[in-house]
Homo-oligomer: A and B are copies of this chain.
Amino acid sequence: MTFEIFSELQYQVYLPTTFIFSIQASRSNSQVIIEESLVTEPFITAEEIIGSEGGSRFIRLKVNGNSRFTIRYQAKVDIDYNTIHQRNLSYTVPVNKLDEDEMHYLFPSRYCQSDKLQKLASKEFGSVDTAYGKVAAITEWIYNNVEYNSGTTNSSTSAYDTLTERVGVCRDFAHLGIALCRALTIPARYFTGYAYGLNPPDFHACFEAYIGGEWIFFDPTKLVPVNGLVKIANGRDAADASVASIFGRASSTSMTVKCECYDPQFKPLYFTNTENQKGLSY
């Protein structure tokens, strides 16, 4: 299925500033970039850095102070997600068989203090069968118990806060999902992307859990179809994969994000309840 994605970010730059942007679609076997363009105004030589997480790409560039700056990205991306067999979803990879790449995602991180949530996670979800069942239950629980409300949280809000304050945005929902998974010894990582049907349009954040040897996708916001995401990056949490890291002094003045699919065959797929859920892997 082919998606057309677009983003434009504008900044007022006060002092010489290095930006690291994470706005490009990642490259992988299941996500092929058919065409893309990246434009800056004024023109500035940008460097592409390949992330250690498979396929993530960062754009780094330095902008002069006392200027206005715009970056515009556009791509056509072919997505071929996998539906995972139930059989695999019932299998949990034990810690002593995880590769080093996945082991990282068991440890607590800036916004996902899984070390503090072990009793709670074990009490609430410990008795659910299979790793897949646990993560699906976590996802439902977040959906049912946390209120989606923009403007109530900020860039320092963490899973620890969200668990208590019960309000947040997609980023907070993802952090809480990740923290609860890790507290149950299930590797989990942050996922940012473009999302079809997100209203108002914005970048989206979800998470992936490592189950049966695959990274399975979960979205506790249930705001968008699960088969309409274009992945930008993975990371331990938003500290690794924020849309823009700014070193210097600049403020955002405008942001536009789009994600469209013109293929008449595209049927948005919503997971309605945990019973019917099948796994999906990007």
Which residues in A have some Cβ–Cβ distance to B below 8 Å? Answer: 18, 20, 47, 49-52, 58, 60-62, 94-96, 100-101, 103-104, 106-110, 112-113, 115-117, 119-120, 123, 145, 147, 155-156, 160, 163-167, 185, 239-240, 245, 247
A145 to B121, CA, bound (A): 11
| Complex interface: chain B residues within 8 A of A116 (CB) | 156, 164-165
| Complex interface: chain B residues within 8 A of A106 (CB) | 245, 247
- Check A165–B247 contact: CB distance below 8 A: no
With A164-B160, A166-B120 already in contact, the answer to whether A239 and B94 are too (CB < 8 A) is: no
CB distance from A49 to the nearest CB of B (A): 5
| Complex interface: chain B residues within 8 A of A52 (CB) | 52, 100-101, 104
A194 to B237, CA, bound (A): 31
A110-B112, A185-B247 given; 18 more Cβ-contact pairs under 8 Å: A18-B94, A18-B96, A20-B95, A47-B96, A49-B100, A52-B100, A52-B101, A62-B96, A95-B247, A107-B110, A109-B109, A110-B115, A113-B156, A115-B155, A120-B164, A120-B165, A163-B164, A164-B164
Q: Count this chain's copies in the assembly.
A: 4
- Check A147–B166 contact: CB distance below 8 A: no
With A18-B95, A62-B96, A100-B50 already in contact, the answer to whether A240 and B107 are too (CB < 8 A) is: yes
Main secondary structure of the interface of A (DSSP, over half): mixed
A112 to B236, CA, bound (A): 14
| Complex interface: chain B residues within 8 A of A113 (CB) | 110, 156
A95 to B123, CA, bound (A): 35
| Complex interface: chain B residues within 8 A of A167 (CB) | 119
A120 to B108, CA, bound (A): 24
A163 to B165, CA, bound (A): 11
| Complex interface: chain B residues within 8 A of A94 (CB) | 18
- Check A145–B164 contact: CB distance below 8 A: no
A109 to B91, CA, bound (A): 31
| Complex interface: chain B residues within 8 A of A109 (CB) | 109-110, 239
